[in-house]
């Protein structure tokens, strides 16, 4: 029995888009040369690349939800070139350079597609601030600075007064600005990528796959509620849900993070705070608060992590209201003069991490390939890993394919329940307590 996505209906990014066209669903029996499961960043990139390699093949991209509704459309809108802190601490400089190269190739790919197809998604080369509030955050910021120095990366230290001129708040004492990050509207970008796929890619939405098994001839049968797909080649771009198909079980941790945003600020509200539009700040202390200001002047607050073994079913309305209240406290700590500005949406998104912070990429069975576990860098990693997974399937070798195979591996095994859940929940609570000054 496959546990399916169960996302809330309050994602601001998705709600801000026009209503989508009617969904085409899986109905009846079909055959395809390749089937890609999961229409997020990885699945979209994989389907596009397969179509480029095999222009006469029939490629089916199938998703349990609408394109842009799932995890890829629910992040904070960063496309990050620099790996997160854990990867930056890797002892091998070549490992880090490979990660950087892969992430930056993903950014270049996305930028090219956005330009080619005129995708309206607030794409912006805005860079990123990593901000510190107090002594704990400043210590993390100093460590981040030393990692950048060792890597030879460009950055700039921004002090409180200059920060206030951009962020419109004196809440942060210092930040490091790195120029390589891009910002975007994730649901708009994902939907635009889906709408611009090559003609030989058929997209089936609202079509959950509930079974994956081989027939007597060795072909794979994908069973839906109202139809069946038969194919020799399956690409799983299903992130945490990869384990629902029997692969990487007990190796992925399902975590949900949450965000709230405001209505667009007025001219008067922008002027009263001195805030500028179109920037993003992540916390120096990874358990702190992410803040975004969109191009259309919405402030986003993101923090709070939950272990969600039943995915969206693990979070109820009472928990969401509590999270929204916590977001409100973080918002007012930074912008007390905007207390009259309401939140209009609060949403969560589920993603996969691993205990050894290792991404999986490669073959999991005869004719079945997977990319899973982005460890929180989904937009860039999903894009490049999906594209290269398609290369791996068709046997198109390249330096980038060799690079991604060199930096990926097997996520480590998790302890059994109930010890896993107890340990993860305790660690999340402990991190939130230690980081309370940075929230």
Q: Is the peptide bond before 418 cis (omega within 30 degrees of 0)?
A: yes
| Calpha distance 187→48 (Å, rounded) | 18
Q: Give a yes or no: residue 417 inside a domain.
A: no
Asked if residue 37 belongs to a domain, the reply is yes
In a domain, 399, yes or no: yes
Mean pLDDT, residues 402-425: 91
The whole-number pLDDT of residue 434 equals 84
Nearest to 404, CA basis, from 373, 378, 376, 381? 381
- Our measurement of the distance from residue 75's CA atom to the centroid of its chain's CA atoms, rounded to an integer in Å, reads 5
Taken in order 45, 190, 76, 79, the sign of the CA dihedral is positive
pLDDT at 428: 83
For the cut 90, the answer to whether the pLDDT of residue 86 exceeds it is no
Look at phi and psi of residue 323 and say left if phi exceeds 0, alpha if psi is from -120 to 50, else beta.
Answer: alpha
In a domain, 213, yes or no: yes
Question: Based on the domain organization, do 331 and 320 belong to the same domain?
Answer: yes
When pLDDT is averaged across residues 290-314 and rounded to a whole number, the result is 96
Same domain, 124 and 206: no
Residues 123 and 262 in one domain: yes
- What does the alpha-carbon distance between residue 419 and residue 417 come to, in Å, rounded to a whole number? 5
Residue 397 lies in a domain: yes
Q: DSSP string covering 350-396, please?
A: EEEE-TT---EEEEEETTEEEEE--TT-HHHHHHHHHHHHHHHHHT-
Same domain, residue pair 69 and 94: no
Please tell me the predicted confidence (pLDDT) of residue 306: 94
Asked, for residue 410, whether it belongs to a domain, the answer is: no
Question: How many Å apart are CA 129 and CA 168, to the nearest integer?
Answer: 14
Which CATH number goes with the domain that contains 118? 3.30.9.10
150 and 204, same domain (yes or no): no
Return mean pLDDT, the chain. Answer: 95
Lowest-confidence region among 35-39, 138-142, 406-410, 424-428 = 424-428
Task: Supply the range of the domain harboring residue 430.
Answer: 84-182+253-355+425-438
Looking at the 3D structure of the chain, how many domains does it have? 2
Cα–Cα distance for residue pair 330/140, rounded to 1 Å: 20
Residue 132 pLDDT > 90: yes
Do 216 and 266 belong together in one domain?
no
Residue 1: band (very low, low, confident or very high) from pLDDT cuts 50, 70, 90:
low
Query: In the predicted model, what is the mean pLDDT of residues 226-241?
Result: 97
Whole-angstrom CA distances from 114 to 2, 120, 123, 237, 323 are 34, 8, 8, 21, 34
Judged by average pLDDT, the poorest of 114-123, 257-266, 408-417 is 408-417
pLDDT value, residue 24: 98
pLDDT at res. 424: 84
No. of H helices and E strands in the chain? 12, 20
**Least-confidence region, from 68-77, 341-350, 366-375:** 366-375
Q: What is the pLDDT of residue 378?
A: 83
**163 in helix, strand or coil?**
helix
Q: Are 106 and 201 part of one and the same domain?
A: no
Same domain, 281 and 338: yes
| Residue burial 306-325, b: 16+ Cβ < 10 Å; e: rest | bbbeebbebbeeeebeebbe
- Report the CATH number at residue 225: 3.50.50.60
- Tell me: pLDDT of 433 over 90: no
234 lies in the same domain as 152 = no
For residues 25 and 100, membership in a common domain is answered with no
What is the arithmetic mean of pLDDT over 10-37? Answer: 97
404: part of which helix (H) or strand (E)?
Answer: helix 399-407
Are 258 and 118 within one domain? Answer: yes
Rg (CA), the chain: 21
- Whole-angstrom Cα distance, residue 430 to residue 439? 13
Residue 357 CA to residue 438 CA, distance in Å, equals 23
Q: Stretch 217-229: mean pLDDT, rounded?
A: 97
Confirm whether 418 is domain-assigned. no
Would 6 be classed as within a structural domain?
Answer: no
If asked whether residues 220 and 246 sit together in one domain, one would say: yes
Q: Give the mean model confidence (pLDDT) for residues 242-246.
A: 96
Q: Which pLDDT score is estimated for 417?
A: 86
Closest residue by Cα to residue 190 from 49, 40, 351? 40
């Amino acid at each position: 029995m496959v546990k399916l996505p169960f996302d809330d209906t309050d994602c601001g990014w998705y709600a801000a888009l026009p209503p989508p066209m009617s969904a085409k669903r899986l109905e009846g029996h079909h055959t395809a040369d390749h089937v890609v499961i999961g229409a997020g960043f990885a699945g979209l990139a994989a389907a596009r690349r397969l179509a480029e390699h095999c222009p006469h093949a029939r490629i089916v991209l199938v998703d349990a939800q609408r394109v842009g509704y799932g995890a890829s459309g629910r992040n904070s809108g960063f496309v990050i070139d620099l790996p997160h802190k854990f990867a930056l601490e890797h002892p091998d400089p070549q490992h880090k350079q490979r990660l950087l190269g892969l992430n930056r190739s993903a950014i270049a790919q996305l930028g090219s597609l956005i330009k080619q197809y005129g995708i309206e998604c607030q794409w912006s080369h805005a860079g990123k601030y990593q901000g510190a509030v107090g002594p704990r955050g400043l210590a993390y910021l100093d460590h981040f600075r030393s990692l950048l120095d060792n890597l030879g990366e460009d950055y700039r230290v921004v002090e409180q007064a200059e920060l206030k001129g951009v962020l419109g708040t004196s809440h942060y004492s210092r930040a490091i600005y790195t120029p390589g990050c891009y910002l975007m509207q994730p649901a708009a970008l994902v939907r635009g990528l889906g709408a611009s796929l090559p003609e030989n890619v058929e997209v089936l939405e609202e079509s959950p796959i509930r079974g994956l098994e081989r027939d007597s001839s060795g072909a794979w049968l994908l069973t839906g509620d109202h139809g069946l797909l038969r194919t020799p080649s399956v690409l799983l771009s299903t992130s945490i849900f990869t384990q629902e198909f029997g692969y990487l079980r007990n190796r992925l941790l399902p975590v949900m993070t949450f965000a709230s945003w405001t209505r667009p600020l007025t001219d008067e509200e922008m002027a009263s705070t001195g805030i500028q539009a179109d920037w993003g700040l992540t916390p120096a202390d990874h358990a702190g608060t992410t803040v975004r200001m969109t191009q259309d002047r919405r402030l986003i607050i993101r923090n709070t992590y939950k272990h969600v073994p039943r995915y969206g079913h693990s979070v109820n309305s009472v928990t969401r209201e509590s999270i929204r209240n916590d977001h409100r406290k973080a918002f007012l700590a930074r912008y007390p003069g905007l207390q009259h500005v309401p939140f209009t949406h609060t949403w969560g998104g589920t993603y996969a991490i691993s205990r050894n912070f290792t991404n999986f990429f490669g073959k999991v069975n005869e004719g079945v390939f997977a990319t899973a576990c982005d460890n929180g860098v989904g937009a860039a990693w999903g894009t490049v890993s999906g594209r290269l997974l398609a290369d791996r399937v068709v046997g198109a070798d390249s330096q980038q394919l060799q690079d991604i195979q060199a930096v990926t591996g097997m996520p480590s095994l998790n302890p059994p329940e109930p010890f896993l859940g107890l340990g993860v929940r305790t660690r999340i609570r402990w991190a939130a307590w230690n980081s309370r000054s940075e929230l």
